[in-house]
Chain A
Amino acid sequence: MNKILLIIKREYLSRVKKKSFILMTIIGPVLMVGIMIVPIWLSMQKTEKQKVEVVDESFLFTGLIPEKESVHFDYPPITLDQARKGFFDTDYNAILWIPKNVLNGGQKGIKLLYKKQLSNTAQQHIQYSISKMLYEVMLAENHVNIDFIKDAKDKSEFSMLTMQVDEEGNDKKTNTGLYMGIGLVAAIMIYFFIFMYGVQVMRGVMEEKTSRIVEVILSSVKPFQLMMGKIIGVALVGLTQFLLWVILSTTLYSFASATILRSIDIKQNVAKEEVIKIGENLDQTKMGKNEDPNEMTQLWNDFKSVDMVSITLCFLFYFLAGYLMYSALFAAIGAAVDSEADTNQFMLPITVPLIFSFGIAQTVMQDPEGSLAFWFSMIPLTSPVVMMVRLPFGVPAWEIIVSMSLLVLGFLFTTWLAARIYRTGILMYGKKVTWKELGKWLFYKG
């Protein structure tokens, strides 16, 4: 027992001390936080005010296009030709041309001519405002009451509330999109961790075999101890990396949001106030749909309603047990072959169920209670990924227990299988191994 601890320690330390590990540990959170923060930060960046010269031949919009903090409109009384001719002598970024017949199907002729492309928000703003104004003008011309239409719209639009009813008659609010998100993220993480660290186990075993140190070590410890020591050592490396990522990401995120996002928040609030002022007659509040504070809080509330504790616990279980099961097989492959090039033929049957389970994740999400979802969340080779996809939608306790037990059995079985291949293969040099050969090894006596 003491010796297996020594092996675990070596496997762990030799990997954690590697430059690549340290690099990955730092880059991971920076990337993750970057993905979350940078787009917000960029969109909140005060962009240079774009000046747009409006040539409105219909005179419908003159002086009426709402200003925005990033766009300013001028309405000089000139023709398009004149504007184009003098375009590069002015400091305008773009010319917006509105044809005369805009109300009679000419709206498709509206053009924005620019020197340098306007920001996406500015372009959307222009298009949205003009479209809205056209719509309202047309309704007014046909004597349709705008308020009535608005009212009808408000009263007919809704997003469906979904509730799960349990046996005691309690309703639970559900949010399918959110569940899909959580399940997918968990499944992706398990998938990558199994692959990444499983392959590390395989490489480690091959390193011992090709460097010929294995026989020296086997004169001190049992092959099984060496194999399990490596598998556990690498698992701890994986957990360490995972934990460091979580800690670093949260610290980095809270730090980033404290410094960068707070300044943005202030700006945002100011902007919102402005919008409300202008929006009195133009109803602009629906513009930035994703930034709608109500929806964000709603999402947050839904998120809190998900049982994150048990999902995290299940995640850790499927993460570890799935890894243990697969990495034993990876270890067996590493022991059976002489070089990386020979691994391919044996890798395929291991990677297929893993990739397959990831492939059916989409279908499982659409129908988390279906028979496909049920069976593949029971079969040990696919259950770590498939069950994680199902979990946020709520899975009966007995199904989880059966699935977990089967996974543990699967892990015990692959370890037994791997140990038998391992102890023979690790001492077998210069022999091209076939499937038949592997089968024979299973029945050799220790």
Chain B
Amino acid sequence: MSNILSAKNIVKKYAAHTALDDVSLDIPEQSVFGLLGPNGAGKTSLIRIINQITGPDSGEIFFENEKLSPKHVEQIGYLPEERGLYKKMEVGEQALYLAQLKGMKKAEAKKKLKYWFEKFEIEAWWNKKVEELSKGMQQKVQFIVTVMHEPKLLILDEPFSGFDPINANLIKNEILNLKKQGSTILFSTHNMGSVEELCDNIALINRSKKILDGTVKDIRKENRSNLIEIEFSGNMMGFTNSLWTYGKLGENWSEGENCRAQIELTPGSTSNQLLSSVLSAVEIHSFKEIIPSMNDIFIKKVGEGNSIGTQSNFTE
């Protein structure tokens, strides 16, 4: 699959502070790409550079293998983290204006907007001023103006912040819908649950550097902890003795005959060896490998990065 967007060695500095330090990314076409990182890591700086709101100090961005230029603005839809609309302007008029700024013809924009307003069942708002709408209503309008020009690349910065659960779900479904129709979605978020649910690929940025990227599946696999959780009924002592050298007992719980234990596999052993050795000792109810959630990986990686960072600061 080819990449819709590639960032190569992006550096962005503000006076005394480096926002992005040699960050490279590849976003495959027709995928959902999660840009993750703690607050102030540089996500918004990178997104603003992709939107050509600011420029990088060095490095290059390619859109469909072409150097990013103002004409690509029309292929990108952007929902910023800090978002809003002209409060005194009418909804329809405003949507038309923003569509035209994205290069759409007026008649075409009207048609598209009609489609979306019907889909979200908000036709009645066309002549209302934005300030007359509730917050949830404004968010729907905001989402429509982001996607109405059918961008090839949709950039959503914290799309679920400020959306109520119903609208958040609506947006989630639309994201998957748009992906099905061929769009690529880049979104930055703190919500790790939605990352597992939606993303194909991610990149993790911390302290202006990319510290991790790849497909969600691969990343979770790489970050396996070699922990296996076994539920069984029988004697905990007998169970512990049967482990041999294949594993070490970690946390465990028992309630009479019913027990649950986490086993850390010793390096070199396989789960099959462990399973066959405990089979004879107790009655197994379940046997599963614990795969870390994206949330755990995020906390672990950012935590590592920060401790290294503070150390190096300290030695300086």
Contact = CB atoms under 8 A, between A and B. Distances in A.
A6 B100 contact: yes
Contact of B55 (A6, A207, A427, A445): A445
A174 B78 CA distance: 64
Contacts of B85: 211, 213, 216
B152 interface: no
Nearest to B81: A215
Nearest to B53: A218
B86 A207 contact: yes
B98 interface: yes
B153 to A, nearest CB: 11
A398 interface: no
Interface string B109-132: 000000000000000000000000
Interface string A200-232: 000000011001110111111111000000000
A10 interface: yes
B89 interface: yes
B98 A216 contact: yes
Contact of A427 (B48, B83, B84, B98): B48
A429 B101 contact: no
Contact of A446 (B54, B79, B83, B86): B54
B82 interface: yes
Contact of A219 (B53, B88, B100): B53
B88 A427 contact: no
Contacts of A10: 97
B285 interface: no
Contacts of B52: 219
A264 B54 CA distance: 68
A427 B53 contact: yes
B314 interface: no
Secondary structure at the B interface, as helix, strand, loop or mixed, is loop
A213 B86 contact: yes
A3 B101 contact: yes
A419 to B, nearest CB: 14
A445 B57 CA distance: 7
Contacts of B87: 207, 211
A377 to B, nearest CB: 40
Contacts of A6: 97, 100-101
Interface in A217-267: 217-223
A444 B78 CA distance: 24
B73 interface: yes
B210 interface: no
Nearest to B82: A212
A14 interface: yes
A440 interface: yes
A423 B52 CA distance: 12
Interface string B56-83: 0100000000000010010010111011
Nearest to B149: A220
A222 B73 CA distance: 11
A215 B83 contact: yes
B237 interface: no
B207 interface: no
Given A3-B101, A217-B98, A220-B102, A211 B57 contact: no
B107 interface: no
Contacts of B103: 220
A219 B73 CA distance: 7
Contacts of B53: 215, 218-219, 223, 427
B88 A220 contact: no
A211 B138 CA distance: 12
Interface centre among B79, B84, B88, B142 (most CB of A within 10 A): B84
B263 interface: no
B29 to A, nearest CB: 21
Contacts of A429: 82
A10 B100 CA distance: 11
Given A215-B53, A445-B55, A14 B80 contact: no
B51 interface: yes
Contact of A213 (B57, B73, B79, B84): B84
A216 B55 contact: no
B166 interface: no
A222 B101 CA distance: 11
A213 B73 CA distance: 17
Contacts of B54: 423, 427, 446
A219 to B, nearest CB: 4
Nearest to B13: A445
Which of B73, B101, B103, B146 has its CB near the most chain A CB atoms (within 10 A)? B101
Question: Which of B48, B51, B54, B57: most chain A Cβ within 10 A?
Answer: B54
B55 A446 contact: yes
B73 A212 contact: no
Interface in A389-446: 423, 427, 429, 440, 444-446
Interface string A297-318: 0000000000000000000000
Nearest to B73: A220
Given A14-B89, A218-B53, A440-B15, A212 B100 contact: no
Contacts of B78: 215-216, 219
A233 B67 CA distance: 33
B27 interface: no
Contacts of B146: 216
Given A10-B97, A14-B89, A427-B48, A215 B80 contact: yes
B76 A216 contact: no
Contacts of B145: 216
Of all A-B residue pairs in the complex, the 7 with the closest CB atoms, nearest first, are A212-B84, A219-B78, A215-B80, A220-B101, A211-B84, A219-B51, A218-B53
15 contacts: A14-B86, A211-B84, A211-B86, A212-B80, A213-B86, A215-B80, A216-B79, A216-B98, A216-B142, A217-B98, A217-B101, A219-B76, A220-B101, A444-B14, A444-B15
Interface of B: 14-15, 48, 51-55, 57, 70, 73, 76, 78-80, 82-89, 97-98, 100-103, 142, 145-146
Given A216-B84, A216-B145, A445-B55, 20 more contacts: A6-B97, A14-B88, A207-B87, A211-B84, A211-B86, A212-B82, A213-B85, A215-B82, A216-B79, A216-B83, A216-B85, A217-B101, A218-B51, A219-B51, A219-B52, A220-B73, A220-B103, A429-B82, A440-B15, A446-B54
